[in-house]
């Protein structure tokens, strides 16, 4: 079995030794538990050390923080925290009171067997001093968690753990992903049985677990696994009608599978854009004109200008935006003599996507990004079928600002996913070239397409005795278009233009 003691650094060893001496002085038993022991058994690094003690955890933690020169934080009645600042990051000791009369009783209250193993703190310190691993007899392991760790098996402590805390349904998926574990069949059965309870967990906790599941590459595989357990549509019931819903002939997948595969396509696009120029040239996504290489350079320039970080392309919220982009298709599905249609699905999808984001208590910023992607993901592809005029570029970024970059990138992922394993067609080249043009104009020629505003809304209302409303927006749009066309250049000319427009509008 791997043992993480080999990768415990000297500073951590010293802190654990001081903590062991402290608890011994206080005549209090102290055991490492939970993630700290799990990661030792799995050979993983650890910066958060969970300690259970027989004493008053809050009082002991406060005095331990003083002893170690760290910071004390009261978390809740079950734990207090000691935080030690280090050059390499924070070292955290979470001190909790013993639950139950014995450490064995405490361990039986935990979620998974690999988290239900304890190690007396002094036994670990003894092993560290002699540069050995703790003797197997040192571990307190009433549920055979060490054997499950060795087999890399995730097993529930008992059949009721998901009913006691439904968030464990998502945590199990995260552990499976993080440690490359296999979920034991009976545990999997209990997860299916209790999947409908997931929404009973707090939305903030669901948010954090879901984002952790989506963050690493391979999110589509995990989304599909969530679906096999009944967790995906419990969390997002808006997708129920999408399963098996056919699409027009260019599409390989039905609406449900296309939505999930768009996440994989976004990851593929992100990975491709991180490649070297030579590798990009060989990519099946590249065009003869080198649009993908140009896009890579544009994103680097965008990052340097502070508009769009390339890391954002792989962020959980971008994957959610990709997943939700077609959520408006089920309610707009229609078939006529011309085939299958989803007229107005971007607009229909906005309230549904926001419903999902609200359910997981997403931030306002994340909600806004998803809303913009869902509402506008068709626009870059639609522009690729026409001559892209300066006015069209300006209108696109006037509506979306820097978020237009994210929308354009998701539109590319949407296109890739549309074809599935089938080869891309010539429409891909036009789509990619259009996205390249959009980003180039915004990143390199922004002042020409987004000229500084010559008049403010309140000036218009005061000067022309107008009330707030759509007319003000139309006037600002009129002025901006005239600036872009080069027909006006000053505030005076803008006022004249508005005056002429209003005369015509009133007549």
pLDDT in tens, 416-426: 999 999 999 99
Is 131's pLDDT higher than 70? Answer: yes
Question: Can you give the CATH number for the domain in which 143 is found?
Answer: 3.30.460.10
Domain termination site, one of 413, 432, 449: 449
pLDDT tens-digit map of 63-80 = 999 999 999 998 887 789
DSSP element (H, E) containing 495:
helix 491-506
Q: What DSSP designation does 312 have?
A: G
270 and 365 within one domain: yes
87 and 169 within one domain: no
268 and 394 within one domain: yes
Both tokens of 376, joined, read: 């506008």
Q: Is the pTM of this model over 0.85?
A: yes
162 and 136 within one domain: no
Let me know if 464 is exposed, middle or buried by CB neighbors in 10 A (0-12, 13-18, 19+): middle
Place of tokens 């003000």: 472
Edge-to-edge strand order for the sheet containing 48-53? 71-76, 79-86, 89-97, 48-53, 30-33, 119-120
| Host domain of residue 46 | 4-151
307 or 144: which carries more pLDDT confidence?
144
Query: If you average pLDDT over residues 242-252, what whole number do you get?
Result: 95
Task: Report pLDDT for 6.
Answer: 61
Task: Report pLDDT for 450.
Answer: 77
185 and 298 within one domain: no
Task: Report pLDDT for 3.
Answer: 62
406 and 284 within one domain: yes
Domain termination site, one of 422, 449, 476: 449
444 and 384 within one domain: yes
Q: What is the dihedral of CA 97, 103, 107, 113, to 10 degrees?
A: 130
* Spatial CA neighbour of 356 closest among 242, 243, 236: 236
- Name the domain count of the chain: 4
Question: Can you give the CATH number for the domain in which 183 is found?
Answer: 1.10.110.30
Task: Report pLDDT for 2.
Answer: 54
Considering only CA atoms, give the Rg of the chain. 29
Query: If you average pLDDT over residues 129-139, what whole number do you get?
Result: 85
Query: If you average pLDDT over residues 176-201, what whole number do you get?
Result: 97
- φ, ψ for residue 244 (rounded to 5)? 80, 0
Query: If you average pLDDT over residues 2-16, what whole number do you get?
Result: 78
CB 406, CB 370: distance < 8 Å: no
146 or 9: which carries more pLDDT confidence?
146
Mean pLDDT computed over every residue of the chain: 93
pLDDT tens-digit map of 20-69 = 999 999 999 999 999 999 999 998 887 789 999 998 999 999 999 999 99
Exposure letters 11-24 (e unless 16+ CB within 10 A, then b) = ebbebbbebbebbe
268 and 226 within one domain: no
Tell me the Ramachandran region of residue 389: left when phi exceeds 0, alpha when psi lies from -120 to 50, beta otherwise: beta
CA distance 181 to 2: 15
Give percent of the chain above pLDDT 90: 78
CB 83, CB 73: distance < 8 Å: yes
pLDDT tens-digit map of 76-98 = 877 899 999 877 788 999 999 99
Is 438's pLDDT higher than 50? Answer: yes
Task: Report pLDDT for 8.
Answer: 81
CA distance 468 to 98: 63
Place of tokens 């005369």: 503
261 and 207 within one domain: no
Helices (H) and strands (E) in the chain, counts: 27, 10
CA distance 259 to 338: 24
206 and 110 within one domain: no
Structure confidence at residue 174 as a pLDDT band (50, 70, 90): very high
Is 316's pLDDT higher than 90? Answer: yes
pLDDT tens-digit map of 481-491 = 888 777 888 99
Measuring CA to CA, how many Å separate 172 from each of 166, 186, 231? 10, 13, 12
197 and 88 within one domain: no
CB 285, CB 269: distance < 8 Å: yes
Is 495's pLDDT higher than 70? Answer: yes
Measuring CA to CA, how many Å separate 345 from each of 329, 352, 386, 418? 5, 11, 21, 16
Dihedral sign from CA coordinates of 451, 452, 455, 458? positive
Beta-strand (E) ranges in 131-254? 153-154, 182-183
Task: Report pLDDT for 4.
Answer: 61
Is 162's pLDDT higher than 60? Answer: yes
CA distance 232 to 15: 42
pLDDT tens-digit map of 443-462 = 999 887 777 888 888 999 99
231 and 365 within one domain: no
CA distance 269 to 283: 10
236 or 9: which carries more pLDDT confidence?
236
Query: If you average pLDDT over residues 136-148, what whole number do you get?
Result: 94
Both tokens of 501, joined, read: 């427009």
Task: Report pLDDT for 1.
Answer: 45
Give percent of the chain above pLDDT 70: 98
CA distance 115 to 141: 10
CA distance 55 to 35: 21
Long-range contacts of 330-334 (CB under 8 A, 24+ apart): 330/238, 330/239, 330/241, 330/242, 330/245, 330/255, 331/241, 333/245, 333/255
Is 415's pLDDT higher than 60? Answer: yes
Domain termination site, one of 88, 120, 151: 151
Task: Report pLDDT for 5.
Answer: 64
135 or 273: which carries more pLDDT confidence?
273
Both tokens of 492, joined, read: 């005076």
């Amino acid at each position: 079995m791997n043992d993480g003691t080999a990768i415990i650094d000297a500073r951590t060893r010293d802190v654990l030794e001081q903590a062991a001496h402290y608890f011994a002085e206080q005549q209090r038993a102290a055991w490492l538990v939970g993630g700290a022991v799990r990661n030792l058994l799995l050979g993983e690094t650890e910066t958060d050390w969970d300690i259970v003690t027989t004493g008053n955890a809050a009082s002991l933690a406060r005095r331990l923080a003083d002893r170690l020169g760290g910071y004390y934080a009261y978390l809740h009645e079950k734990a207090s925290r000691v935080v030690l600042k280090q050059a390499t990051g924070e070292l955290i000791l979470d001190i909790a009171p013993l639950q139950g009369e014995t450490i064995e009783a405490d361990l039986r209250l935990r979620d998974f067997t690999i988290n239900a193993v304890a190690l007396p703190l002094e036994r670990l310190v003894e092993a560290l001093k002699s540069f050995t691993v703790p003797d197997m007899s040192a571990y307190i392991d009433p549920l055979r968690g060490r054997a499950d760790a060795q087999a890399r098996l995730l097993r529930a402590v008992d059949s009721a753990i998901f009913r006691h805390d439904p968030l464990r349904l998502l945590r199990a998926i995260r552990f499976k992903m993080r440690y490359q574990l296999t979920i034991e069949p009976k545990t999997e059965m209990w997860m299916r049985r209790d999947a409908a309870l997931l929404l009973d967990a707090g939305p903030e906790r669901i948010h954090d677990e879901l984002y952790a599941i989506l963050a690493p590459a391979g999110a589509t595989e995990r989304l599909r696994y969530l679906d096999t357990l009944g967790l995906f549509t419990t969390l997002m019931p808006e997708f129920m009608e999408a399963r098996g819903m056919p699409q027009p002939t260019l599409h390989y997948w039905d609406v449900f599978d296309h939505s999930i595969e768009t996440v994989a396509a976004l990851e593929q696009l992100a990975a491709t854009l991180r490649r070297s120029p030579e590798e990009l040239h060989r990519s099946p996504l590249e065009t003869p004109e080198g649009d993908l290489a140009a896009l890579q350079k544009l994103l680097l320039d965008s990052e340097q200008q502070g508009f769009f970080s390339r890391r954002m392309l792989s962020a959980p919220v971008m994957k959610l935006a990709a997943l939700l982009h077609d959520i408006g298709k089920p309610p707009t599905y229609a078939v006529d003599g011309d085939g299958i249609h989803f007229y107005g699905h971007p607009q229909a999808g906005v309230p549904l996507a926001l419903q999902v984001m609200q359910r997981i208590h997403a931030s306002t910023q994340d909600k806004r990004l998803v809303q913009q992607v869902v509402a506008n993901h068709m626009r870059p592809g639609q522009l690729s079928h026409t001559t892209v005029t300066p006015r069209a570029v300006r209108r696109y970024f006037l509506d979306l600002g820097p978020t237009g970059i994210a929308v354009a990138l998701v539109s590319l992922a949407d296109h890739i996913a549309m074809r599935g394993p089938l080869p891309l067609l010539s429409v891909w080249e036009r789509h990619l070239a259009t996205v390249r043009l959009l980003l180039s104009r915004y990143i390199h020629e922004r002042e020409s397409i987004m000229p500084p505003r010559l008049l403010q809304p309140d000036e218009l209302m005061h000067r022309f005795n107008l009330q707030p409303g759509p007319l003000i927006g139309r006037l600002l749009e009129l002025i901006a278009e005239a600036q872009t066309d080069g027909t006006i250049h000053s505030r005076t000319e803008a006022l004249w233009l508005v005056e002429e427009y209003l005369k015509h509008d009133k007549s």
